[in-house]
Amino acid sequence: MRIVITGGFGFLGREITSTLLRTRTYRGAPIDRLVLADRFVPSGAPEAADPLVRIVRGDLIESLAEVFAEPVDVLIHLAAAVSAECEADFDLGMGANLDTTRALLEAARAQSATGGPTPRLVFSSSVAVYGPDPALPLPSVVSESTLPTPRSSYGIQKLVCEQLVADYTRRGFVDGRVARLMTVSVRPGRPNAAASGFLSGIIREPLAGLPAVCPVRPDLRVALASPRRTVEAILRIAEAERGTGRGRLDGGLPVNLPALTVSVAEMLATLRQVAGDAVADLVTIAPDRDIEAVVGSWPSVFDNTRAATLGLEPDPSFASVVRDYLADHPDAILVGSPHAAGRPDPGL
């Protein structure tokens, strides 16, 4: 069983890699090879030392021959330019998101057309496919049957790739599945160029003793999923058999990952409850019209039925999200700083 992860050294790529290297199986079969493809490979990444891992470094389109040098059974396609990048640089987004995905689909098709296995492909799409059209406001609850009318180039590129994955699948070139990711919070590490980046930053930075700016009004409601739930969902979608009934993937529609709906005010109140006033006071509210417009255009309440069929549930509360973050990243908290209130109550 050979698995490829594109964007393998991005945040989600590393989380998925870590899970797969722990279980060393996929649908009960041993993993023989885990290919991590990425433009940037951090030096000293511990994954590189694992005998299952092979690293393909460079632009994905130029690396496809190397990625497919051995037959590929499963592709988890995470590599992408993020929302704010695509809005700032249209050509970059079309190249990194549309052209790259199409080239990947073609390489997968070439493998199956020449007698190799038909690769299973998980395409990571996004909640950013949804947006309000001037003539068609979003419904109060969004599901996979809601018409996406993206309000960003990123959302358009994701939606276009979803359609290509659907057609390559219908024609039998690949066995494609689309996971529409919610905003992931709390992401560890450094801020990225996503318009939604602050939804991690307003928790992560203060916990580390750093100031953070919240660029939206606190009553804005958002749909979130923790890294744990996101990784679990991507792997569940990768492993699911097709068909109807519990645990199976029915029809060709994408799967919206299960979403926890919270307001930014509730997120900040949770931070205050967990880490105290000094930490929570590190957040400054300074609405930025552009970011508020982008993030405010995304739906915040989802019908999670389709994900539930696959056994996927949203995070139960934002307190649980923060608790997971603290458990998974104990070093991310500045213990004893004048701002931080120290380790939070583990019973939170």
Binding site for a second copy (CB under 8 A): 90, 133-136, 144-151, 153, 156, 159-160, 163-164, 166-167, 170-171, 250-253
Are 128 and 298 contacting, i.e. CB atoms less than 8 angstroms apart? yes
CB of residue 234 to a second copy, shortest distance in Å: 20
Catalytic residue among 26, 130, 154, 168: 154
Are 340 and 334 contacting, i.e. CB atoms less than 8 angstroms apart? yes
- Coil, helix or strand for 34? strand
CB of residue 253 to a second copy, shortest distance in Å: 6
Residue 36: beta bridge partners? 5, 55
CB of residue 132 to a second copy, shortest distance in Å: 9
Q: How many CB atoms lie within 10 A of CB 190?
A: 9
Shorter beta-carbon distance to a second copy: residue 83 or 226: 83
154 annotated active-site:
yes
Q: Give the span between the Cα atoms of 108 and 68, in whole angstroms.
A: 8
Q: One-letter amino acid identity for 212?
A: A
| DSSP letter assigned to residue 3 | E
Shorter beta-carbon distance to a second copy: residue 165 or 340: 165
Q: Give the span between the Cα atoms of 74 and 51, in whole angstroms.
A: 18
CB of residue 247 to a second copy, shortest distance in Å: 15
Strand-strand pairing, 260-263 and 221-225: antiparallel
Are 177 and 122 contacting, i.e. CB atoms less than 8 angstroms apart? yes
Residues with a known catalytic role = 154
